[in-house]
Structure 1
Amino acid sequence: MDKHQILELLHQVKDGTAAPEEALLKLKLSPFEDLGYAKIDHHRGIRQGVPEVIYGQGKTPEQILGIVKAMSDRGAENILITRMSGDAAEFVQESIALDYHPIPKIGIVGRCKEVTAQGKIVVATGGTSDLAVAEEAALTAEVLGNEVERLYDVGVAGLHRLLANLDVLMQAKVVIAVAGMEGALASVVGGLVDCPVIAVPTSIGYGASFGGVSALLSMLNSCASGVSVVNIDNGFGAGYLASMINHIGGAV
C-alpha cells in the first residue's frame, strides 16, 4: 500500500464507502509482511515514494517469486529486482509477467512507464565494457519515473566522442558517469556541466585497477566540483539517487 492508496482509503472512510474498522485492519496489515525468509516492508512506498527493491543475488528463485507475489497482491507497481540471474528470471516468468534485461540482470514486474520528473538524466560510460552497470543505473532511473538518455562509449581515450555530445550533457539535470580503468570520465564531465554528477566506478580494468578500487579513488579525488561517488558497480544506487535529485522541485 502506497501513500496514494492510503489517501484513497481515508477518503472512502470519509464518504462512508469503507468502514473505519475495515480501514484499520488494512493499515494494521500493511507495515510489513513476514514470509519467514523475508520481511517485506509494505510501507517503504509511503516513507520514500518507491516500493521496496528486491536484491536478487543470493536469493533462490522461489524466494524472489514469493516476495514479488506478496508485493503484487498489495498493489505494488514498478517492482524492481536487481542482480537477478537468468535462471531466476525464467522461473519467475512461469508464474508472473516479468520484464527481464539480461545485461544488467534486472527484472521489472508491473511496470508503469509514466514519467513523473521534469528533468532529464544522462547516463554516460567510458566504454562498452561498462554497459551492464550503466544499464542498471539507466533502467532504475526509468522505472522510478525519469526520462533517461544514454551516451555510451564516450571515454577520455577519445575525448572528441564526449565533446560531440555536449548539447546532450548541457540539457541534463543529473549526469551519471560510469567508468572503470582510471575513472577519469567523472572529472571531465564534472568540469563541463552545471548539474550534479554521480560517479560510478566499475570493476573493469587490468590488474592494477584492483577490481575498481583505482577508479573509485580517482573519482573520490576528483578536482571537479559537484561530483559525488557511489560504490563500485553500484548502478542501482546511482540511478536511485539521480531520480531523487531529478524529482526535487515537484513532479510533472
Structure 2
Amino acid sequence: MNENPTGGLRRGEFGWFDAGRRARIGIPEAVFAAGKGDAALVEMIEFALEGEGPVLVTRLDPERWGLIADRADWLAFPPIAEGEPYVTLVARPLPRTGPKRVAILAAGSSDRVMALEARAVLTALGVDSHLVLDCGVSALKRTLVALDETSDAEVYIVLAGFEGALATVVAASVAQPVIGVPTSVGYGVARGGETAMASMLASCSQGLMVMGIDNGFGAACAALRIVGTRST
C-alpha cells in the first residue's frame, strides 16, 4: 500500500480511498459496495476503518454480510434481514450534538430502504433525524400530520415515486430547505422513477432541490452541507 501523507489517500490493489475527505468537506468518503468484488470491498472497508472517524458502507447486498460482519461494530439501516435489496452500514457514528435535525418524509413504505440510507448518513455524522413513512399525497391528511410532527426540522428530505407530488407539496408548505428524492417506485409510466424526477424538476414550488433517482445518500450529504458538519 502507498499512502499520500498530505492528501490522506490510501491506495491498494483495487483502488484508492480518500481518508482526508471529512477533513476537507465535513463528510467522509463512503464505500459503495454494489459492483465491487469481495476482495475489493474488504480492502476499501479496511482502509476506511484505519481512521478514527465515522465509516459508511452503502448499497451492501445482505448476502455479503458475512464478509465484513466481524470487522466493526456496525449499525445497519435497515437491520440485516432476508429480502432487503440492500442495507447501509455505519461504524463509529459521531455523538449527536446540538439541536440540528433533518426530517425524512417518505411518500410510501416502499421508499423505506432509500429513506433509511439517508438516515444512516445523518446518523454517522451525529445529526438527528425524524423519519415518517407512508405520508404521501394519496391521503393528504397523512401529509399534514407528518408536516406537523416535523415542524422543528432544519431541512426536509422528501422521497416519492409514482408522480413525485409529495416533494412539491412539502416545498410549498414549509420555509426550510427541501431536498426531493425521486424513487423507482410505481407502475407503468412511472418508468423507474423518471416520471417522479421530471415532476420534481418541473415543480412550481420555488427552491425545491432534486437529487437523482433513489439517491438517499446524496440527499443526506446535501442536508449535511446545509446544517453544517464541521462543528461535529
Give TM-score scaled by structure 1 length. 0.82
Tell me what 2:87 maps to: 105
**Contact kept? 1:123, 1:176, Cα under 8 Å:** yes
What percent identity do the matched residue pairs reach? 32
The number of residues matched between the two structures is 224
Alignment partner of 2:221 out of 198, 218, 240: 240
Tell me what 1:54 maps to: 31
Residues 183 and 51 (structure 1 numbering): CA distance in 2 closer, same or farther, change over 3 Å? Answer: same
Residue 53 (structure 2) pairs with residue 77 (structure 1): yes
SS at match of 2:105: strand
**Contact kept? 1:126, 1:185, Cα under 8 Å:** yes
Deviation at 1:165, TM superposition (A): 3.1
Deviation at 1:27, TM superposition (A): 7.2
Residue 199 (structure 2) pairs with residue 222 (structure 1): no
Distance 1:227 1:29 in 2: 38
* Residues 102-149 of structure 1, C-alpha deviations (whole Å, 9 max, x = no match): 44511122x224124532100001111111111111111121221100
Deviation at 1:36, TM superposition (A): 1.8
Deviation at 1:31, TM superposition (A): 2.5
Q: 5+ unaligned residues in a row in structure 2: which ranges? A: none
Pick the structure with more strand per residue: 2
Residues 97 and 142 (structure 1 numbering): CA distance in 2 closer, same or farther, change over 3 Å? Answer: closer
Comparing 55-64 with 179-188, which one deviates more in the overlay? 55-64
**Contact kept? 1:117, 1:251, Cα under 8 Å:** no
Tell me what 2:212 maps to: 231
SS at match of 2:173: coil
Tell me what 2:22 maps to: 45
Q: 5+ unaligned residues in a row in structure 1: which ranges? A: 1-25
Distance 2:8 2:108 in 1: 43
**Contact kept? 1:60, 1:88, Cα under 8 Å:** no
Tell me what 1:93 maps to: 69
Residues 223 and 113 (structure 1 numbering): CA distance in 2 closer, same or farther, change over 3 Å? Answer: same
Residues 222 and 117 (structure 1 numbering): CA distance in 2 closer, same or farther, change over 3 Å? Answer: farther
Give TM-score scaled by structure 2 length. 0.89
Tell me what 2:166 maps to: 185
Distance 1:54 1:69 in 2: 10
Query: Cα RMSD (Å) of the superposition?
Result: 2.0
**Contact kept? 2:9, 2:16, Cα under 8 Å:** yes
Distance 2:52 2:7 in 1: 12
What one-letter code is carried by the residue in structure 2 that aligns with 1:46?
A
Structure (1 or 2) with the larger CA radius of gyration: 1
SS at match of 1:149: strand
Distance 2:35 2:211 in 1: 22
SS at match of 2:27: coil
Tell me what 2:118 maps to: 137
Tell me what 2:9 maps to: 32
